[in-house]
Amino acid sequence: MADDRPRSTGAKDVETSTPVAASVAAVMARAQESGLTKSKGSRISGRVDSELIERAKARTGLRSDTALIEFALANVAIDDGFAETFRALRGSVDPELDLDF
């Protein structure tokens, strides 16, 4: 019988004192809410530069390769396109609009 309980990156896998820890937690919570982390039935492998892995772990505070890969994939999967939309709207607010400051 499959375990349907939501899974998240375990506390032992993340250093919570990093500046981006809240961002990592938010991405993983959103992925969990979307049902993207409930099953760990797939494997992924590949070769990447060890410096890339170490810098990504240092930046995110994630300690395990699995947690890092899960975060990276979740970050791509749940991207809402905000940055692109924000750039596309640049300059679209009327400069005469009184913003009260």
Per DSSP, the residues of 29-63 read: HHHHHTTSSS-----------HHHHHHHHHHH-B-
Number of other residues whose CB lies within 10 A of the CB of residue 92: 6
Cβ atoms of 13 and 64 closer than 8 Å: yes
The CA–CA distances, whole Å, from 10 to 15, 16, 44, 68, 80 equal: 10, 11, 19, 12, 25
pLDDT of res. 68: 96
pLDDT bin (cut points 50, 70, 90) of residue 2 is very low
pLDDT for 1 beyond 60: no
Distance (Å, whole) CA 75 – CA 69: 10
8-51 per-position pLDDT tens digit: 455 456 666 667 888 999 999 999 999 999 988 899 999 999 99
Query: Where does the pLDDT of residue 4 fall: very low under 50, low under 70, confident under 90, or very high at 90 and above?
Result: very low
Closest CA to 14 of 86, 62, 65: 62
Angle at which helix 65-77 crosses helix 21-33, to 10 degrees, equals: 70
pLDDT at 101: 73
Interval 58-85: pLDDT, tens: 999 999 999 999 999 999 999 888 888 8
**Bridge partners of 14?**
62
pLDDT at 5: 39
